[in-house]
Structure 1
Amino acid sequence: MSNERNKKILLELVKLPENSRCADCGAPEPDWASYKLGVFVCLNCSGIHRSLSSRVKSIRLDFWEDELVEFMKSTGNVNARAVYEKTVPPYYYRPRETDCSVLREQWIRAKYQRKEFTGETKYPPLAYTTGFHEGILWKKGKENMHFLKRKFVLSEREFTLTYYNKEDESKGPKAVISIKDLNATFQPQKIGHPHGLQITYQDEDKTRNLYVYHESSEEIVVWYNAIRAARYAYLKTAYPTGSDEELVPKITRNYLKEGYMEKTGPLLKESFKKRWFILDSQNRKLLYFKDQLDAEELGGIFIGTENNGYSVKECVPKHARGNKWTCGVTVETPERQFVFMCEQEREQKQWLNALRKVLSRPMSPQDYTAEAHISVRLGANRKGTAVELWEVSVRFVLQRRRVFDSRRARR
């Protein structure tokens, strides 16, 4: 009888709003609990807790003693969070249920094993809090799949990430990357390593990628949060009146959609070629690469709003040549029409939904500037003098700004 009564109590506890999501990744309807910590967790996070000897039980399947149920009643996710997440920095990434296992594991270890956020003084300070981090990462070669050890140096003071081709710094860095346009996202499946991290940045007019990993799961997550700390510091400088609610989502982001599609040229008569596409929703860009681990983009398409002449729809292109796939997607921009082919209808629907999400979001003044920049690049590809391209850029920005200001005035 007591077992049935205790199960009923636990099921009522887990229905409370404060306990209805996993204490660690936010997954709904957690079915497990750590009776050492007093938190309700999902199946995936329960496995990590078990590896830490955190003493977990199934709410529905295991036997619960009266004293353990009382402990769960007196603790719960909110009270545990007040202790173990007391001083989480705003830039520190809190993983979600869809994030890769290395992020969830290190978040749980940081909270409960290393107790990084309880407010206790740490000497020396935690690596991601110092504003400076250096070390060796395995980096993929630009032209091949060989990963070689390279030294990386992150400086929050300089707002730069520097890496060297050789450990001997006297020969100078291979690249000094500005934190301004840098993004970092975990890509374990894409890179083929459980700790794989993709670092994306702007080099003149091109988007470039670095693919790196570290053997230690703790160290690669330290790198990730150190980059986020530097990005946060930069954003606080660039947008001094911005709140954490506004700035934190801009620190780093996962891409809305990635995958292969076939692409044809501007005349819609060229043969289709298979390309790897990345939809960066925050920057409103659809980038394409020859392959998924390429270091440099082949091109980019700005995705504006319907009011500004952009649209997306499914299509069946006529006179298509060289395409192996048949599920078409058309993206209309003020400059031209882009036609892509997806392998399956499911992929076609996913791309359409993702692109429409970007289309439905209003444009900011910064978006208009980015739009003009891409338009100038397209103009450069179609040839033209530097003066002509500069004039096009200025006219484009002024026109878009006028549209933006008039709409804001009407609100």
Structure 2
Amino acid sequence: MTTSVEQKRGNVKCQNSKKPDWVSVTLGVFVCQGCSLIHRSIESLRQVKSVLQDTFEDKEIEVSHRRSTGRFVFLAEGCFLEQWIRAKYERQEFIHIEKQEPYSAEGFLWKRGRDNGQFLSRKFILSEREGALKYFNKQDAKEPKAIMRIQTLNATFQPAKIGNPCGLQITYLRDNSTRNIFVYHEDSKEMVDWFTAIRAARFHYQKVAFPGANDEDLVPRLTRNFMKEGYMEKTGPRHTEGFKKRWFTMDDRRLMYFKDPLDAYARGEVFIGSKENSYTVVSGLPPSIQGYHWKYGITIETPDRKFLFACETEAEQKDWIAAFQRVVNRPMMPQEYAVEAHFKHKP
């Protein structure tokens, strides 16, 4: 019986482990040992078994089979972990998000300064009626420092990048370019509540924007994790400049590069279309490329030019190529053609 459950384990993962060794029998989800202890501390989730040591009944394997589709992946880590599990399974804030009323929120978060890198307390207001998340540089300020439209708002947990266990990265589009804001709160529940509020506001926006869509189709659009992040080297459009080390973020079809992972704005963005539209990704660099650079190259060909990148290790090269291929192999949506056109007209 254990072998059957072991075979299902590869379909899902706990955020704290790529190969979790425990199963929540109640939920049919795979978790790491740390998560299993938290599950056991919650009365309604106490039934947890080891994949390697325990035996499973047929009905338990069936629950695991039905639910091991990747839907139940923990996004929390560090101090988020217990609050996330309780929010998701005790209070059911994410499973039943469609039942929530229009959501607004107000409070103070520590925000990283764009120029000096210092975290300062800032007032944030999320207003679904206004369709925006705003923050103010001063408590008594009448005008917000920034207005982030719910239409393009995204939030993802980034404790390692931000250097705080309760760190959240918020992104939005400003003049069709991505703007990053990095925030945290000492109280993990407060940070989870903000994340939930953003998702709820996004859900109600999607319900209005796509009135005929099913809730199951809308929920994956509420917030998203980046497909891939990490360092690569790049050269300029003429391919004669030296390769420079940059931090890259793959956010759906937007490949952005930064001098520092915590930069507010990207140094540049590249649109990655589909193979039907003449976008291709190949391993290696053209033979004509000379000079010092990391050994493992990647070439992205677009209808207009070639983009050349280099990775430090072969493993990183393979991971980046896999991420690019997932995007290139996916047909473009109608609204993505407008984004592609914008990138083509950028100076």
TM range (shorter): 0.7 to 0.9
RMSD value over aligned CA atoms? 3.7
Counterpart in the other structure of 2:268: 299
SS state at 2:213 partner: coil
Contact 2:126 2:132 in 1 (8 A): yes
The one-letter amino acid of 1:138's match is W
Query: Using the alignment, how far apart are the partners of 1:322 and 1:24 within structure 2?
Result: 39
Equivalence for 2:133 = 161
1:219 matched to 2:190? The reply is yes
- Return closer, same or farther for 1:320/1:218 CA change in 2, 3 Å cut-off: same
Structure 1 residue 45 and structure 2 residue 35: aligned? Answer: yes
- By percentage of residues, which structure has more strand? 2
Cα deviations across residues 110-150 of structure 1 (Å, max 9, x unaligned)? 366xx4249xxxxxxxxx85511010101001013211110
Q: Tell me, which stretches of 5 or more residues in structure 2 are unaligned?
A: 64-70, 94-99
Distance 1:23 1:174, change over 3 A: closer
Aligned ranges 1:161-310 → 2 under 5 Å: 161-170=133-142, 172-281=143-252, 284-310=253-279
Amino acid at match of 1:135: G
What is the aligned residue count? 330
Query: What one-letter code is carried by the residue in structure 2 that aligns with 1:214?
Result: H
CA contact (8 A) 1:14 1:30 kept: no
Structure 2 CA distance for aligned equivalents of residues 347 and 302 of structure 1 = 21
Supply the AA of the counterpart residue of 1:303. Answer: I
- The letter of the residue matching 1:345 is E
SS at match of 1:268: coil
Larger Rg: 1
Partner of 2:85: 108
Check the 8 A contact 1:179/1:230 in 2, yes or no: yes
Contact in 1 for aligned 2:102/2:204 (Cα 8 Å) = no
Q: What is the rounded CA distance, in whole Å, between the counterparts of 1:321 and 1:61 in structure 2?
A: 51
Aligned to 1:138: 110
> Which AA in structure 2 matches 1:234?
Y
Q: Deviations over 1:128-185 (max 9, x none)?
A: 8551101010100101321111010001111100000111133x21011111111111
Letter of the 2:246 partner, please give it: R
Q: Distance in 2 between matches of 1:253 and 1:227?
A: 12
Q: 1:298 deviation in Å? A: 1.4
Change (3 A) 1:146 1:244: same
SS in 2 for 1:144: coil
* Aligned-partner Cα distance in 1 for 2:329–2:15: 32
1:33–1:46: 8 Å Cα contact kept in structure 2?
A: yes
The gaps in structure 1 that reach 5 residues or longer are: 1-7, 79-93, 119-127, 382-411
Task: Report which stretch shifted further, 96-105 or 284-293.
Answer: 96-105
State the identity as a percent: 47
SS of 1:169's equivalent in the other structure is coil
The structural deviation recorded for 1:25 is 10
The one-letter code matched in structure 2 to 1:184 is A
Shift of the 375–116 alpha-carbon distance from structure 1 to 2, 3 Å rule, reads same
Q: Which residue of 1 aligns with 2:66?
A: none
